[in-house]
Amino acid sequence: MPLILSKTGEFLLEEKRSKFLAFCVPVFTEEEALQILNKIRFEHGTASHNCYAYQINGGTIRFSDDGEPQGTAGLPILNVFQKQGIVNFICIITRYYGGIQLGAGGLVRAYTKATIGAIEAAGSEELIIRKEFIVKCNYNNLDKIKYQFAKNNVKILNTVFSNDCELKVSVEENYIENFINNDLYSVEVH
C-alpha cells in the first residue's frame, strides 16, 4: 500500500553556511503542486535555488535541480520519497548559498538529509482510496445505517431529507462490495 504525508512538514538544514529549507506538502493534483511551488518561489525569491520533486499517485512525476549541478537536487529528493513509498507529495527545498561550495556529493547528501528531515516532521500514513456514493433509505432504517457506517468508516458527507433520506457518503475501497450489497438502502454511484 502506498503512503502519503500526514501533514505539511518543514525542516532547516545548515551545511557549510548554506541553508536548506525543506517544505513537504501532501497534494492530490498537479495543479495543487504547482500552486505550492509558485508560492514558495515567490516567498523565497532571493534564494539561490528552489529545487523540487513531486509525484501524484498513478502517474505524474516531476523534479528540478533549479540551477544546481544536474542530478544533485531534484532526483535525490524524489529518490527519498520513492524509497519510502510515499506518493501525492511535493517537496521543495530552498537553498540560500553560504559561500562555500559543497561539491556534487555534498549537495546530494544535503538535499537528501533535508528531505528526510521534512518527511519526519510531516509523518506518513497509509493511502486509503475512497469513492463517493449516494445512499437512499427510509427514515426507519436511518439509525441502523448510521451505526453500520460508523462501524465501517463510511463517512457521511451530506444528508438531504425529503420523502426518504438521501446520504452522500465516502467509502473506503476495500469495503465497497459489502457496502453495495445491503438490504437497508439503495446505492447510486456518484
138 near 93, Cβ under 8 Å?
A: no
- pTM comes to 0.72
CA 10 from centroid of its chain's CA atoms: 14
Instruction: Write down the residue that cell numbers 515567490 correspond to.
Output: 42
> Is the pLDDT score of 190 beyond 70?
no
From the list 111, 45, 104, the residue with the least C-alpha distance to 78 is: 111
Say which residue, 34 or 143, is predicted with more confidence.
Answer: 34
Contacts of 186 (CB under 8 A, 6+ apart): 135, 136, 137
> Is the pLDDT score of 51 beyond 90?
yes
> Is the pLDDT score of 132 beyond 80?
yes
Question: For the ranges 8-22, 110-124, 168-182, which has the lowest average pLDDT?
Answer: 168-182
In order of 4, 28, 88, 105, 174, the CA distances from 31 in angstroms are 17, 9, 12, 32, 28
Give the residue-averaged pLDDT of 4-8: 92
Give the per-residue pLDDT at 167. 85
When the pLDDT of each residue in the chain is averaged and rounded to a whole number, the result is 90
